[in-house]
Each structure stands twice: as structure tokens, then as C-alpha cells.
Structure 1
Amino acid sequence: MKKEANPKEKKKFKEFLHKFFKIFIIIFGAAIAINILVIGVLFLIHKNKLADERGYLNPQGQMVDVGGHSVHVIVDGDENADKTLVFIHSNGITDDSVALEPLFGKLQEYRLVYVDRSGFGYSDTTKTDKDIESIVTELRTALEKVNVKGPYVLVPNGIAGLEATYWADKYPDEVESIIGINISVADDFDGVTEEQYCGFFNYLMVKFAAIGGQRYVKSVYPDNFGAVYTEKQMIVRKALISKNFYTSDMYEEDLQAVHNAAVVKELGWPEQTPMLVILANPLMAPYIEDDSSVREEYEDALKEVYGTATDASAGDADGVDYVGEYNADKKAYYSQYKNVQIEEMSGPSRLYTYDPDGVAKLIKAYLDD
């Protein structure tokens, strides 16, 4: 027969539970209060720094109205040139209005246009639609507002390759050619779900950026390898990143990316549009010698596999040419299309931030051919 608990023991146990939950509630409440305090302090610091940085953030181009919100457009170079180059930034890149300046300086014989999409750079953050048609429509409308007519040479970077190929598919008369700088293509998203590409972490990033959390993550700010930029340009780039590190518009673009890729894939590759694809290879010298983090990551990977590291610029431990293999899949992909010319350069994804002279030479050679 089961023995019943002593009334005194029951009372002691209830008192213990009461004290335990009381202490738990106090600790939990204190933790919430501390978190709120920390978030509040970070937000106030961020706001104060934004106010201090406002003096650096003067748009170099025009602010034009596109669908009820302001979009920043830079028009540079020779307005009478035969070629009009329209530069399209990748998602998450908010400082290209400044980052492109050294490259623009080397391409002054062409008409040059750059547009900050809504939620990027100097443009308004408005939670606009970010399906592929809406993105391209915003770009086309911005060009119309500054009276820059096609046909255009589109110069996309990163995931903006989707916008460029869509533009060429849907409005072929407006696109003379495409010069893709390390671009993504629709097939890159095969097998990727929307949740995998843009999940809850991305949503948290919007909140993280809103309180200025990026200010305490050194890796989000660019280095000035090769002294490409002046001190003032670097200050402005960093101020733009602090202001718009990851906005709701950027989140919406990520949220739509898999769907947009599917739309572009259904339209097919624009095989009638001449194209130059410039591939970035961070393992090639001299970039790997300049960027210590890339070099260390590469050598650590070799150590993990082979137990030793080798000179990244010279080769590897087992005779495999990892530098040569870095872009092998991309080269094989583009080689199936007769309208694509392929070049490879040493540098990061945004090659123009590291070697604008090399990028300019490839662009000129392609356009003048």
C-alpha cells in the first residue's frame, strides 16, 4: 500500500516551489529588463552616430520620384557616348554609389548610370514589391525619369544577374548587351527552398540592423585593399553601411529571390543578347596575398584535408589545381551558350572594389571589339 506524503512535507514542498518560481520570475524579469536596457542603449548610440554621420551622406546623383518614393540615380561620363552602361548592384550592397567611383573614373568615354534600388544607399526604404518585374520596372522608371534612353549595356553584380537576364528576356530592344561581374544565374537556385534562402534569421537581421548591431561586427565593413579609395570615400561607404546594413527592402528581395529565379529560368537564357561574364577568383594572386582572411581560410581548409598547407598561389598538396578549379563549374555552365564570353580575375565578388583598372580594361576591350 502506497504511503501518503506527510502534510508537513507537502507544505515544505509547496513552499520550495513557491520560492523557486518567485526567484525564477525575478531572474527572468531582470533578464528581460537588462535586454531591453541594452537594446535601448544600442539604439540610442546608433541614432546619435547616424546624426553625426549625416554630414557625410550627401547623394552624388539625383533623387527622383518613382512610384511615390525617392530613388537615387547617378548619371556620369559622356552624355553623347554611343554606349550607355547601367550598373545594377547586388542585394545587401548599399554602398555602390561610392564603391563604383574609381571604376567610373576609368570609363568616362561611356555614359554611366547607377541606381540605388529602394531600401539601398540613398534611396528611400519603403517596403516596395520585390518580385522581379517590380524591381526591373523601378530601374526602368528611374532611367526614364533622368531621361536616359536605351539600348543599354547592363552591368549587374551578384544576384543582380537575375534582373539583367530578365530585362533582356522581357525587353530585348532595351538591352544591347550584358557585362556580368560575378553574377548569379537562375540555375544557382535549383533545389533551394525559400525557407533555406531566407529564413527567420534574415528577419532577425532586419531588427539587428535597426538598433545598429552591425556597428559592433567588424567584418561587415569593407577593407581598402590596394588603396583604391580615399579616406573620405571609405568614411562614406562605412556610413552608408551603418545606415542601411540590412533593410526591410533587402529582406523582401531575399524573400522573393527563389521565386524570382524560377521566373527567370522559365523565360530561358537570353541567347540573342551578347554577354561578357567576369568571374572573380579570390584564390588567385595577388588578391589572396592581400586578403589575409581568405588566405588563412584556404590554408586551414588544406590543413584539415591534408594535414598541411601549401602556398595558395603555387598549388596544393595533391596536385589538384584548386585555383583553377575554383570557377570550373561556372565556366562549364557559361560555355554552353555561344553568346557568352568568359574572363576571370583575381579578387572578391565586387571586383571593382579591388581592381577597378583591370575591370575597366576588360569592359573596354569587350565594348570596343
Structure 2
Amino acid sequence: MKKILKVFKTLFLTCIILAFVVSMSIFVYHKYQLSEESELIKSKETLVEINDRKINVYSEGKGKDTYVFMAGSGIAAPLYEMKGLYSKFSKEHKIAVVERAGYGYSNVSHDKRDIDTILEQTRESLILSGNKPPYILVPHSLSGLEAIYWAQKYPEEVKGIIALDIGLPEEYANYEMSLADSFTIRGMNVLTRIGFHRLFPSATYDPEVVRQSFLTVQEKEVFKAISYKQAFNNDMKQELLQNNKNAKKSVKLPIPVETPILFLSAYTDENKNATYTKQKVENYKQLADQLETAEVKEVKGRHSIYLYAPEEIYNLSVNFINEKVENDERPK
């Protein structure tokens, strides 16, 4: 028995030492790569300073309306990943891409990421970069929570919302994160700080961005470099840990009934009949029924629908704004 225990002890210690050596090797390689990639990602964009933290706001195009693009959770390089969509809008409209703290060229804030802080940083960064309200918000996924909260708190600043497969406040508020979920999120944060994500490129960034042609070869390299740098950092971790509390702040406020919203629900051939997909559309319709101006449209593509149907999204959005918002004669 003593011999068996000794063997197990030796194996255990060997595994611990091996894991430490592997982790340290990956960490050193990750730091080396970050140093090499730093020249690629020197910001040429508009960085504005808010409470000693820099937020990046990229603007292009001209027009009466400013479409504000807001990336979903974990989209490490929004300026590059969403280019295929916002470049269609900027041909005839002004656009702004806000890379909130921890994303793209913006600094990591290391705060708790409560929704009031996130929203005030977004609002202030837009003003400081020369983009004045009202805005047409184009949120994706988790950013839908911020967009709806924005319309609830400052309805005069939100002309409309183009909701790209967003999560609704009530959905996030009803989902209580389990201890296992919390540990998973914190564990992923630790692993990316060490650099393990470099072993799994397709989990670090969406390969579809690289496969498509809306980025130049140089931009694709910058996109990958930013993704490796910002992957699941502290701000992204905190966003997920706080989304339940943030959503509860939103559901306590009145629904923004006067804010026009176009809900675009993503589906694929594989999941179009899934319970989740049908329930998502139903939830959108239930909220739309409570709004004065709203539509629900289904768009074929994966969750990141801006990569799969940019032309359709652009046409649906412009038609909605022109027909349902610009022609709306309701008194404000």
C-alpha cells in the first residue's frame, strides 16, 4: 500500500510540475507575441479620455443621422469585426463605432462594469469625439441591454434602435448565474491572462471575419492581434458577471414605448425550429407589441448576423427608419 501511495504521490507531483512548466512556457510565449504585435495595433483612431481611461470611437461618413454600432460581449475588435456592416451605412450616413472599455483600442477599466458606468462612458465618449445625439443605436447581443437602458433613461437621445439578435433585459434578469457558470467565467479569464487562448485561434476570434473580404490583409492581422491582446479580459469577465444585476436595473424602469425598435432575429437551417429560436422571436414580438413603433424580422445567419447578412440588415434598417421613423408625425 505504501508503495502504491508513493507512486501516486510521485505522479501527482510530476503532473503539477509539468502543468507549471507548460503554463509558464505559454505565458512567456504570449508576452513575447504581445510585444511583437504591439507595433501592429498602435491606435490611429479617436481615443477620448474618461476618468483616466481611454475609449476609442471611430467615425466615418456624413449624414443627418448617426448610427452607433455597439458590439456584443467578447467581440474583442469591434472596429474590424463589424466593418462589413457599418461600411454599408457610412456610404450615405454618419456612423460611430464605440469600443467600450476593454474592447479594441480602448483601455481596460478594471471596474465592476455596472450598466450606469458603461452607459455614461459611451455617452461621454460620443460627445467628446464630436458625435452629438440623437442617435440610431445598432447593438448586438449583450449590448441590447445597454441600448434599451439608454432609451429608458435618455429617450430624447435615442431616435431608434436596430437590434441585432439582442438579449432582452427581462431574459438576463430572469437568469440567475450558477456557481459553476461563475467559476467557468473566472477560469476563462485566468487562462487567457496566461495565454492559453493562443492555442485555440477559432475560440479567440470568429474565423468568418478572416475568411471574408471586407478587411485588407493588413487589417486581418491587426484584427487577430487585438483579439489576442483583449481576449476575455477583466472588463469582459465583469460584464458577464454583472449582466443579471444590470438587467434588473432596466426591468425596474418603464418600457421605452416611444423608441422605435427593429428586432432582427438570427436563425440558421439547423436551429430555425429549435425551441430557443422560436422563444426568442416570441419574446421580441411580445416587447414589440408594447411599443408604439416596432417590427420583428428574421434574418438568416448565425448569432453574429452582421457577418452573414450585412446587405439585408442595411436595407431592412434604412427602410425601417425611413418608413416608420422619419414619417412618424407623433408629437415628441
Indicate the TM-score class for this superposition, using the shorter chain for normalisation.
0.7 to 0.9
Matching residue's letter, 2:315: K
Q: In structure 2, the residue corresponding to 1:194 is in which secondary structure?
A: coil
| Correspondent of 1:36 among 5, 10, 20 | 20
Distance in 2, matches of 1:155 and 1:346, equals: 18
1:197 to partner: Cα distance: 8.6
Change beyond 3 A, Cα 1:197–1:144: farther
| Residue in 1 that maps onto 2:78 | 96
Q: CA RMSD in A?
A: 2.5
| Residue in 1 that maps onto 2:123 | 140
Pairing 1:329–2:282 present:
yes
What whole-Å deviation, never above 9, does each CA across 1:216-268 have from its counterpart, x for those lacking one?
22431323365444433332222222111100111111111001111111113
Q: In structure 1, the residue corresponding to 2:163 is in which secondary structure?
A: strand
Distance in 2, matches of 1:63 and 1:250, equals: 20
Change beyond 3 A, Cα 1:185–1:46: same
Distance in 2, matches of 1:148 and 1:181, equals: 22
1:172 to partner: Cα distance: 1.3
What whole-Å deviation, never above 9, does each CA across 1:15-69 have from its counterpart, x for those lacking one?
x64x555544443332222111100001111122222322332334211111111
Change beyond 3 A, Cα 1:356–1:267: same
More displaced, 65-74 or 222-231?
222-231
Q: How is 1:2-21 mapped onto 2 (pairs within 5 angstroms)?
A: 17=2
Gaps of 5+ in 2: 324-332
Distance in 2, matches of 1:237 and 1:326, equals: 34
Q: In structure 2, the residue corresponding to 1:349 is in which secondary structure?
A: coil
What whole-Å deviation, never above 9, does each CA across 1:327-369 have from its counterpart, x for those lacking one?
5424433442242211221112222222222222122212222
Distance in 2, matches of 1:75 and 1:88, equals: 13
Q: How is 1:125-136 mapped onto 2 (pairs within 5 angstroms)?
A: 125-136=108-119
Larger Rg: 1
Pairing 1:174–2:128 present:
no
Pairing 1:153–2:136 present:
yes
| Residue in 1 that maps onto 2:190 | 207
| Residue in 2 that maps onto 1:236 | 222
What whole-Å deviation, never above 9, does each CA across 1:157-192 have from its counterpart, x for those lacking one?
101111011111111111111111111111212542
Change beyond 3 A, Cα 1:191–1:151: closer
What whole-Å deviation, never above 9, does each CA across 1:86-127 have from its counterpart, x for those lacking one?
111111111211112222221122221111111111111131
Distance in 2, matches of 1:262 and 1:322, equals: 25
Distance in 2, matches of 1:217 and 1:153, equals: 36
Matching residue's letter, 1:348: R
| TM-score where L is the length of structure 1 | 0.79
| Residue in 1 that maps onto 2:302 | 348
Kept after mapping to 2: 8 A contact 1:281/1:326: no
Change beyond 3 A, Cα 1:321–1:32: closer
More displaced, 245-254 or 184-193?
184-193
Distance in 1, matches of 2:111 and 2:253, equals: 24
Q: How is 1:230-269 mapped onto 2 (pairs within 5 angstroms)?
A: 230-269=216-255
Kept after mapping to 2: 8 A contact 1:197/1:254: no
Distance in 2, matches of 1:222 and 1:128, equals: 27
Pairing 1:86–2:40 present:
no
The alignment of Structure 1 onto Structure 2 pairs a total of residues equal to: 318
Aligned-pair identity (%): 27
Gaps of 5+ in 1: 1-15, 284-294, 299-311, 313-319
Kept after mapping to 2: 8 A contact 1:125/1:248: yes
Q: In structure 1, the residue corresponding to 2:95 is in which secondary structure?
A: strand
Change beyond 3 A, Cα 1:323–1:140: closer
Pairing 1:280–2:263 present:
no
| Residue in 1 that maps onto 2:327 | none
Kept after mapping to 2: 8 A contact 1:334/1:342: no
1:130 to partner: Cα distance: 0.9
